[in-house]
Amino acid sequence: MRHARLPASEHIALEDVFHALSDPFRLGVVRRLAVEGEQSCQALEGDRPKSSVSHHFRVLREAGLIRTRNEGVTRMNALRRDDIEQRFPGLLDCVMSRAND
Partner DNA sequence: TCGATAGTTCGATATTTTTCGAATTTTGGC
Partner DNA sequence: GCCAAAATTCGAAAAATATCGAACTATCGA
* 47 near a second copy, rule: CB under 8 A: no
- Cβ at position 89, least distance to DNA in Å: 25
Please give the Cα distance from 37 to 76 (Å, whole number): 10
Contact with a second copy (CB under 8 A): which of 2, 3, 8, 15? 15
Strand order of the β-sheet with 66-71 is 39-40, 74-79, 66-71
Subset of residues 59 to 78 that bind a second copy, contact rule: CB under 8 A: none
Contact range with a second copy by CB under 8 A, out of 1-9, 51-59, 65-73, 84-92: 84-92
**What residue ranges bind DNA (CB under 7 A)?**
1-2, 4, 19, 22-23, 25, 40-43, 48-59, 68, 70, 72-76
